[in-house]
Amino acid sequence: MKVGITTPRGNVGSKIVRRLISDSEHDLVLLDHRPEKSYETYGDTVKVTNCDITDLDQLIESTVDLDVLYMVVPPSNSSDTYLQDFIEQGKKFRDAVIANAIPRVVFQSSYGGHLPYGTGPIVGLFHVEQELNRTAASVVHLRACYFMENFLWFKNPIDEKGIIPLPVKAESKTIYNSTDDIADRAVSWLTSDKWSGKIIDEIHGENLSFLEVAKIISRKVGKDVSVFELTDEQSIEAYTQPHIGFSKHYAKLFNELHRGIDNDLLVAEFNGNELSGVNVGFEAFVETAF
């Protein structure tokens, strides 16, 4: 099969590429706006097409004759028009799928992707899902949960102050995924031609409070670590600092996401089942990442 991969150097995309790169049954096409970077990363055994996915003409040209396309809308945390950017990108993905009659699409979405409000940046993914559903393609909306890797952002405050500064209550719970499990699930869809229709695949996992996460990290780093709940105002001030670089618009969405967790709005659409198991638990992740 001819498999197209957007964001081939991203947190998940890079792991998908590495899982597929040695598989001679599949012809990989990497869509990269800086193709030289993909060649540096993966060598010249892969085909890389120069593609800025925000340019519809380039996107259409780069996705000709694909059997399946893995789609990600890369977040731009510094954008003042974040949600509108996502909506517009969804329309471009839709148009490319229609123009090239791409038969299958695997779209990396998020839990909460069924909600049109109240989930911060995930609202953008809701709109992309809707656009892809308007095509004739078979589509898997691969809904990952809260990335374990998000906590790597906090290595410095953990080391320096023993805190995880977030606009969320320590007792609030959510479901966690590792990017390895997301990549594994994506590869299972990308390499199969035995599915059709519009499918929602939620990757479930451990349901932990942020307090429980802090305790797991505490045991690994050998010091007390606590969740420092930021007010919305404190969060906006902190995350718009130049060394972090969120726009005020995105910082507000970031707050909304975490308050959605507090209020039990941001939840998975479906209960876990035998297909929603994962391989990487939070303790195992922390053991290798911290």
Reduce the DSSP state of residue 115 to 3 states and report it: coil
Q: Helix axis angle, 210-221 relative to 282-289, nearest 10°? A: 40
Q: Where are the alpha helices (DSSP H) in 9-154?
A: 13-20, 35-42, 56-62, 82-100, 122-133
134 and 198 inside one domain: yes
**Domain match, 34 and 109 both:** yes
Q: Does residue 32 lie in a domain region?
A: yes
Rounded Cα gap, residues 94 and 227, in angstroms: 40
Residue 267 is given by DSSP the state -
Q: What three-state secondary structure class fits 201?
A: strand
- Are residues 112 and 21 both part of a single domain? yes
Does residue 160 fall inside a structural domain? no
Report phi then psi at 227, rounded to 5.
Answer: -85, 125
Q: What are the C-alpha distances in Å from 184 to residues 261, 271, 276, 282? A: 26, 20, 12, 17
Whole-prediction pTM value? Answer: 0.95
CA end-to-end span of the chain, whole Å?
A: 38
Q: Give the range of the structural domain holding residue 250, as residue numbers without chain letter.
A: 206-289
Same domain, 120 and 263: no
Q: Tens place of pLDDT for every residue, the chain, 290 residues?
A: 999 999 999 999 999 999 999 777 889 999 999 999 999 999 988 899 999 999 999 999 999 999 999 999 988 999 999 999 999 999 999 999 999 999 999 999 999 999 999 999 999 999 999 999 999 999 999 999 999 999 999 999 999 999 999 999 999 999 999 999 999 999 999 999 999 999 999 999 999 999 999 999 999 999 999 999 999 999 999 999 999 999 999 999 999 999 999 999 999 999 876 556 688 999 999 999 99
Distance CA 178, CA 12 (A): 9
Alpha carbons 193 and 228: distance in angstroms, whole number: 47
